[in-house]
Amino acid sequence: MIRKEMNSDRKAAIIVGVLYIIGTVAGVLSVIVSWGILDAPDYLNIVALNASRAQLTALLILVMGLSLAMIPAMMFPILKRKNEALAVGYVIFRGALETFSYIASAICWLLLVVVARQYVDSGAVITSQSGSLGILLVKAIDPTISALLSIVFSLGALMLYYLMYQARLIPRWISGWGIIAAVVYLAGGLIAMLGSTLDILYLQMLPQEMVMAIWLIVKGFDPSAIASLSAKTDTNEVK
């Protein structure tokens, strides 16, 4: 039974590592593809002229969101053996809330394309209405909203890395690095909420997640840690 669980957890580790890489690459590409589109005062004209870039941005955000949403689902059966309450919290913060925000962001980009085309093609009255709607959609992906999502993300990350650190599922220097990166990420979100921006604080998580992803693909979870968690689960079931 334990051997079967370990084989299943090894597959889960590989899947989680791959999903991290897919989600991160898609997220980075979404920033590159959308770079500069919303910066100019006449952003609706620019969106209309670059509709394919905006649509590709939406697709990449969706791929990122769905990939990252699968990670809590894969990790929950493992993490709940250590602390079910925190594992549920991780699923809520990094699964439900974060996924909803990514889907909402993708929808805003797609709607922005529709509004931009209407803005370019329509008359003065409708153009004014389109401009107002365009502002509303841009505000939906405003840095302040992003800052709030960063806080949600970092809290979920703290739950994940605390559980992994306690359970020793991966080397503690990786999970400890994750805890520090999550705290720094949280600080970036709080600073952004106050009106300032320090994007460098958001970048600390990127190398850590990539190192962890590669470790999970190559090495997987620590077998002794998995065996310990499985034994603990079996003992609780007997009780």
Q: Tell me the average pLDDT across 52-65.
A: 91
pLDDT at 104 over 90: no
Rounded to 5 degrees, what angle do the CA atoms 56, 142, 45 make? Answer: 55
- 74-87 pLDDT, tens digit per residue, is 999 999 999 999 99
Nearest to 209 by CA among 77, 85, 68: 68
Interatomic CA distance for residues 178 and 164, integer angstroms: 10
State how far the alpha carbon of 126 is from the alpha carbons of 26, 79, 132, in Å.
35, 53, 10
Q: Please give the pLDDT value at position 140.
A: 47
pTM score of the predicted model: 0.84
Interatomic CA distance for residues 201 and 186, integer angstroms: 9
* Mean of per-residue pLDDT scores for the chain: 82
Interatomic CA distance for residues 102 and 68, integer angstroms: 10
pLDDT at 39 over 90: no
Q: Please give the pLDDT value at position 157.
A: 92
Which residues, other chains included, contact 97 with Cβ-Cβ below 8 Å and sequence gap of 6+?
152, 156
- Report the range of poorest mean pLDDT among 93-97, 177-181, 193-197, 205-209: 193-197
Q: Tell me the average pLDDT across 13-17.
A: 95
Interatomic CA distance for residues 125 and 38, integer angstroms: 23
Residue 35 burial (CB < 10 Å; 0-12/13-18/19+)? exposed
- 110-160 pLDDT, tens digit per residue, is 888 888 777 776 654 444 444 445 454 555 455 566 777 788 889 999 999
